[in-house]
Amino acid sequence: MKIEEFLRSRKVPYTKRHHPEAFTAQEVAAVTHVPGGKMLKAVVIRAGDEYALAVCPASARISIDALSKIAGQSVRLANEGEMEGIFSDTDLGAEAPIGSLYGLMTYADDSLSQNKEVVFQAGSHTDVIEISYADFVNVAKPVTGRFAEHI
């Protein structure tokens, strides 16, 4: 898988786990017994003319208004057709939350920094990867700010 090659090439230690098929970040958190605040949800957005990833806890949703302020431009959610062209090597909706893996910018909600480790989908609906939050920041190089609405 591309994410594993990416992490190995950057000497990032990780743990990969297989789980029953699940599609949303909340479902993945439930089947892997990971708290929703530790499970990363990657949302594909369009900020101006560029695609990017907005990453928040699985237990939250994105405030488009707050994210637009952080991005300094209008933001909208990408549609499935747009996503298919960007993430051709992953199951749709299971992309890793590391924009640099796909040549995209990453935005990460500040609340994620409360975690020592984070877990995210590994390109499929049946695998997750766990890495330290510090390593996530090192490889994703996210712009951080408050844009998650905790539900």
Domains recognised in the chain with CATH numbers:
2-150 (3.90.960.10)
Between 86 and 136, residue with greater pLDDT: 136
pLDDT in tens, 134-144: 999 999 999 99
Q: What is the pTM of this model?
A: 0.94
- Whether residue 148 has pLDDT greater than 90: yes
- Determine the average pLDDT of the residues in 21-44: 94
SS3 for 102?
helix
Q: In terms of DSSP bridges, do strands 60-62 and 148-150 run parallel, antiparallel, or are they unpaired?
A: antiparallel
Q: Give all strands (DSSP E) within the chain, no chain letters.
A: 15-18, 40-47, 50-57, 60-62, 75-77, 105-109, 117-121, 127-132, 143-145, 148-150
Measured CA to CA, the distance from residue 18 to residue 21 in angstroms comes to 9
pLDDT of residue 90: 87
Measured CA to CA, the distance from residue 85 to residue 68 in angstroms comes to 23
**Percentage of residues in the chain having pLDDT higher than 90:** 87
Query: For all residues of the chain together, what is the average pLDDT?
Result: 94
Compute the chain's Rg from CA coordinates: 14
- Determine the average pLDDT of the residues in 37-55: 95
